Amino acid sequence: MRGKKLIALVFLWLAVLASALAVVYSTQLSRELTAELGKAQKANDELRYEQERLLLEKGAWSAYSRVEKVAREKLKMHVPAPSDQVLVTEE
């Protein structure tokens, strides 16, 4: 009878030890994943900021007044006179 108790005690001690190691492992894994999540969220915030900046810049570069100014100054374009305009009809 005493041998069975000893075996049960050893088994329970090993189970407690395994459980403790599992808790340590899962806690460490949780910390690593939390740190990785923080890095990913920071990268996401930086990319969102960059996207907003680029959208704002795109809006500034594509503004009608700027396009017209570049067309007039750099490309020497102008609105054609009514006599120079040709109406093309679809047949």
pTM exceeds cut of 0.85: no
At 62 the pLDDT is 84
Reported as a pLDDT band with limits 50, 70 and 90, residue 3 is: confident
Considering the domain boundaries, does residue 41 fall inside one? yes
Considering the domain boundaries, does residue 54 fall inside one? yes
The one-character DSSP state at 89 is: P
Considering the domain boundaries, does residue 91 fall inside one? no
Considering the domain boundaries, does residue 12 fall inside one? yes
Considering the domain boundaries, does residue 83 fall inside one? no
pLDDT in tens, 30-85: 999 999 999 999 999 999 999 999 999 998 888 888 888 888 999 999 888 988 88
Domain total for the chain? 1
Q: How far is CA 73 from each of CA 46, 76, 78, 82, rounded to the nearest angstrom?
A: 37, 5, 10, 22
Considering the domain boundaries, does residue 19 fall inside one? yes
Range of the domain at 45: 2-78
At 41 the pLDDT is 98
